[in-house]
Amino acid sequence: MSATYESFIAAVREIGVLGSVEALLDWDSETYMPEGGLMARAEQISLIASLTHERRTSPKIGEWLSQLEGRVDDPAAQTNVREVRRAYDRATKLPAELVRRLSKVTVVSKEAWGKARADSDFAAFAPHLSELVDLKRQVADLVGYRGERYDALLDEYEPGMTAAEVEAVFTALRGPLSDFVKQIAAAPRKPDASILHRHFPRAAQEKFSRRIAEAIGFDFQCGRLDVSKHPFCSGVGPVDVRLTTRYYEDFFSPSVFGVMHEAGHGMYEQGLPTEHLFTPAGQAVSLGIHESQSRLWENFVGRSREFWEGLYPECRSNFSEALGSVALDDFHAAINIVEPSFIRVEADEVTYNLHIILRFEIERALIGGKLEARDVPEAWNAKMKEVLGITPPDAARGCLQDIHWSAGLFGYFPTYALGNLYAAQFFEAAEKVMPRLRGDIRAGNFADLLAWLRGNIHQHGMRYLPGELVQRVTGRPLSIEPFLNYVRTKFSPLYGLR
């Protein structure tokens, strides 16, 4: 079977290489590609997607899988066979023409979304959204599902999870979070958020954000940091990781915490086993687990008091005009303010999951045929009022704020909230085995935490499904309790709650 497996894995690596080329083309379109290159880029990405689909659905892959299943003993080989089978069964149900059309449409749609958001003009984006929803419905129907169409799309990002399971988790989470937000709104103590809305020169932000990324462990020898309309992490596994962020000179948080967030993603990528590059054994298991790494570094580390006890003097020196007279207590309270807001990526830890629940409910309705694209703004505003008690003043701060739907990423949003829950459970487990963890964070020692994450999560690639991984690392299945305990313990003292 060795020769068969070697032929099989060589083909799998080629598929992975093609995927990495598409990722880099997409990264370039979001960072450096001139506007005039749009249609050419759409053709390029469409061709790569077509070639990838052709390789992924090759009858030879099916033959090799039949010969290898149940006959490989190495854990990495077992992972590769299992995950390639999963991808093969899914891909062979999709016509090549649909794959080409979807890839081309998303390139054009993302560009249209960027312009529509800049103009706050949902009507200009609506036809693109309608086309994408139609295409993703077709994908779901062809792939098949157990319960509802949305399951077929969700499974692409969080393997094994269904819409009904997500709904159960979100329903359990929504009530306690909403109640806690109300308690905070009525609290006697209020942080001064204006501290973060002073003048923070872009050059200083760039320098300081990179300094933090390096300090927590992102390797710039195998990565880079650039600017895009919407922050993201992409690249070629552990050897080439691309981060992006955005800078606002009148707002401190988006760049610094955005970079910590994306660096968390990047360090997961850099921690994947290089010997399995371009194969499932060397890839992240799910977007929920991926998000747990970004949220852990951004929030559990980056918004902790211990982190800023060690770093705030340097921060104040970099932004002396804005923060020179601001005490640590006031700064820490400001970066942890809890207040309903319009923009998801700038939302606080408590209300963030409510933003995700809103998006999950809307896109589930879109894919299920219960909501049409043209009606999204009205549905969005109504749910925003229901969930967060506020109404966006325009589409740019409402239903046009995220890039995901323009990229066809339906089923992606729930992984953000799942990632928050995974992060809380992982951080709780890390503290149990590293009782001095918070002291290390205060001292600027992040190596031990990163090593723990790499040993327990990163190095496994796709060996364990998300639920299995959480059980192995924490000793219990996914639970909302660690996250609720974390936010109550952290935010109650900040707001003078008992």
Note the pLDDT tens digit of each residue in 445-474.
999 999 999 999 999 999 999 999 999 999
146 plus 196 within the same structural domain: no
For residue 363 the two structure tokens come to: 């896109």
| Phi (first) and psi of residue 283, to 5 degrees | -120, 160
Q: Are residues 95 and 187 in the same domain?
A: no
Residue 471 lies in a domain: yes
Q: Are 216 and 225 in contact (CB under 8 A)?
A: no
Residues 84 and 203 in one domain: no
Supply 91's token pair: 């891909």
Report the number of distinct structural domains present in the chain: 2
29, two tokens: 């379109």
Does 190 map to a domain? yes
- Count of Cβ atoms closer than 10 Å to residue 130 Cβ: 15
**Per-residue confidence (pLDDT) for residue 494, from 0 to 100:** 93
Residues 355 and 466 in one domain: yes
Residue of 262, 291, 298, 361 with catalytic role: 262
In a domain, residue 157? The reply is no
**Pairwise CA distance, residues 384 & 357, whole Å:** 10
Which residue, 398, 383, 363, 430, is CA-closest to 151? 363
Residues 6+ apart with CB under 8 A from 247: 202, 205, 206, 227, 254, 255
Q: How many CA atoms lie within 13 A of 206 on its CB side?
A: 8
Rounded to 10 degrees, the C-alpha dihedral 110/115/120/126 comes to -50
Task: Examine the domain organization and report whether 244 and 336 are in the same domain.
Answer: yes
Residue found by looking up tokens 């700064």 in the block: 331
Q: Is 361 annotated in the active site?
A: no
State residue 1's pLDDT score: 63
Last residue of a domain, one of 129, 152, 175: 152
Comparing 313 with 1, the larger pLDDT belongs to 313
Q: How far is the first Cα of the chain from the last one, in angstroms, to the nearest whole number?
A: 64
CA 302, CA 297: separation in Å to the nearest integer? 6
Pairwise CA distance, residues 436 & 328, whole Å: 22
Tell me the C-alpha distance between 334 and 324, whole Å. Answer: 15
Residue 258: inside a domain:
yes
pLDDT digits (tens, 9 = 90+) for 148-167: 999 999 999 999 899 999 99
Q: CA–CA separation, 176 vs 168, rounded Å? A: 14
Does residue 158 belong to any structural domain of this protein? no
**Where among 89, 119, 152 does a domain terminate?**
152
**How far apart, in whole angstroms, are the C-alpha atoms of residue 139 and residue 105?**
14
Q: Examine the domain organization and report whether 304 and 451 are in the same domain.
A: yes
Structural domain including 432 reads 163-494
Task: Taking residues 227-244, report their average pLDDT.
Answer: 93
* Residue 159 confidence (pLDDT): 94
- Which among 102, 131, 152 is the end of a domain? 152
Q: Domain check: are 207 and 125 in the same one?
A: no
* Residue 181, domain member (yes or no): yes
CATH number for the domain spanning 211: value is: 1.10.1370.30
Read off the pLDDT of residues 17-52 as tens digits, 9 standing for 90 and up. Answer: 999 999 999 999 999 999 999 999 999 999 999 999
* Buried-exposed string 70-90: b where 16+ CB fall within 10 A, e elsewhere: eebeeebbbbbbbbbbebbeb
Q: 148 and 234 share a domain?
A: no
User: Are 213 and 74 members of one domain?
Assistant: no
**Which pLDDT value is given to residue 188?**
86
Domain assignment present for residue 99? The answer is yes
DSSP symbol at 437: H
Return the ∠ at Cα 19 (arms to 18 and 21), rounded to 5°: 65
Whether residue 169 is found in the same domain as residue 147: no
For residue 284, pLDDT over 80 is answered with yes
Closest CA to 43 of 91, 93, 104, 115: 104
Specify whether 125 is located in the same domain as 211.
no
- Longest CA–CA separation in the chain, Å: 70
Asked whether residue 498 carries a pLDDT value surpassing 90, the answer given is no
- Residues 109-117, mean pLDDT to the nearest whole number: 95
Query: 440 in a domain, yes or no?
Result: yes
Q: How are strands ordered across the β-sheet holding 241-245?
A: 223-227, 241-245, 233-235
Domain co-membership, 182 together with 319: yes
% pLDDT > 90, the chain: 96
Q: Give the span between the Cα atoms of 409 and 38, in whole angstroms.
A: 20
Q: Give me the amino acid identity at 89.
A: D
